[in-house]
Amino acid sequence: QGYNEDHTFSVNEYVKLMDLPYGAYHIEDVNIPDGYEFVKQSDDMVVLSADNLNAKVIVTNAVESDQIIGEPTTSLTIKKLLLDIDDEKITENDTQFTVNITGPQGYDEDHTFSVNEYVKLMDLPYGAYHITEIDIPDGYKFVEQSDEMVVLSADNPDAMVTVTNEVVATDDDVIDEEPPVDEIILDEEPPLGIGELPRTGQRHPSEFYVLGLMITGLGVFLKRFII
């Protein structure tokens, strides 16, 4: 009876046609959206009759292999940490720094920002991303970054990388200091020990030992003479 209709619907919907005449009905997927491809359908044709009053057809599509559809929202945030020559954090500085980010599906971008800014990339495909600082401005040096590579996935949809730089010290930053004075300690000389030679004008302890023996001997001699 010349029945010919188009019906548009999503994966969350279905089309239900009622009170159709008996006969054969052909079903065809047309105007397939970009990023999808037709796979199959359960029937190309159904016949409605007294013996087959109800019929159902499932049309199957698939995401093309080079498309990222339906993945959770992802984000990659890159922050800048800037230190002075004393390793203190600098919060006010307009110097621009550049990082290069590479990732899956040929992703390759440069982003420039200062210590007062940050880079936040949204809706990136799952995969590994490499972050490299390039073209470091004069007067600064690269110190470290929290991660050189991050992997965005269903288990890790959001990631943050901090890139740290430091101000390079100049000659004007170096303060001349007087060299420390060696400490001078004055102390008494230790007493002479056995076998040490006396200094000029100083008597050796052995002289006093001999003198003591002579006095003791003289005392004994006089005692005997008196008795």
pLDDT in tens, 4-36: 888 888 876 788 888 889 999 888 888 888 777
CB 76 within 8 A of CB 150: yes
pLDDT category at 175 given cuts 50, 70, 90 is low
| Average pLDDT, integer, range 156-181 | 77
What is the average pLDDT value for the chain, to the nearest integer?
A: 78
How does DSSP classify residue 132?
Answer: E
Amino acid found at 117: E
Give CA angle at 183 (180, 185), nearest 5°.
175
pLDDT at residue 3, as a whole number: 87
CB 104 within 8 A of CB 126: yes
- Give the C-alpha separation, 150 to 152, whole Å: 7
pLDDT at 196 over 70: no
pLDDT at residue 60, as a whole number: 82
Chain segment 31-63, per-residue pLDDT in tens? 888 777 777 777 788 898 999 889 888 888 776
Chain segment 90-103, per-residue pLDDT in tens? 988 999 999 999 98
Which is it for strands 59-63 and 97-102: parallel, antiparallel or unpaired? unpaired
How does DSSP classify residue 52?
Answer: B
